[in-house]
Amino acid sequence: MRIIPAIDIIEGKCVRLTKGDYSTRKTYRDNPLDAARKFEAHGIQYLHLVDLDGARSKHIVNHLVLHEIATKTSLKIDFGGGIKSDEDVRIAFESGAAQITGGSIAQQQPALFQRWLTTYGADRIILGADSHHRKIATDGWQQQSEEDVVDFISAYEKEGVRYVICTDIAKDGMLEGPSTDLYREIIARTNIQLIASGGITSVDDLLALQALGCEGAIIGKAIYEGKIGLNELGSFLMRTQK
């Protein structure tokens, strides 16, 4: 299972929100590159980079942060937040993203998202399936649809999607553990490569997700609040890669 630390960006700074609420913003680092380099120094190879300004503005904003991290580390970056157009996708890939995540666009403009899948390939386009009470949420989690998250993922699997990041918004930033029941259902009903996100608080949580069959796990607030140390993550990677 891949370990994928998260860096969320507002005004060029590394921040975290709780349940996607912008009023709960807490800044952890003024320079996200510093955080990325620390992850890299502990043997981590992947990064989940979210443009929260972009999510709210509905177009990519913090591509310069992406470019700096991509050019000054060897981390493989998946980038999301505000990717709404062909131009946004072009900017993200040209700025160094290995993959991009589309969530709102996949729910609101499925034909455009499917065209990206065809153009760039399923290895480079991740489906973002963020939900609250199982209903897909969009636009930086400010809007909620009536579409069931598992049905949403299942439908896109049939269209060729391979990778899904699934966040239970109720768990995000709460440090109360991930939505293992939801992930178990997704894995049982699909053959998708599932990346768990939200609520991960301990190495035990990572072991539980690994046992479920998750392909990856995104960790954010638990790192910044010291619940999971980078040394612990390094040791986890060493044990599981043997």
Catalytic residue numbers, as ranges: 8, 130
Q: Please check whether residue 84 is in contact with residue 104, taking contact to mean a CB–CB distance below 8 angstroms.
A: yes
* Burial class (CB within 10 angstroms; exposed 0-12, middle 13-18, buried 19+) of 53: buried
Token reading at 65: 């942060």
Determine the Cα–Cα distance for residues 69 and 47; give it in Å rounded to an integer: 10
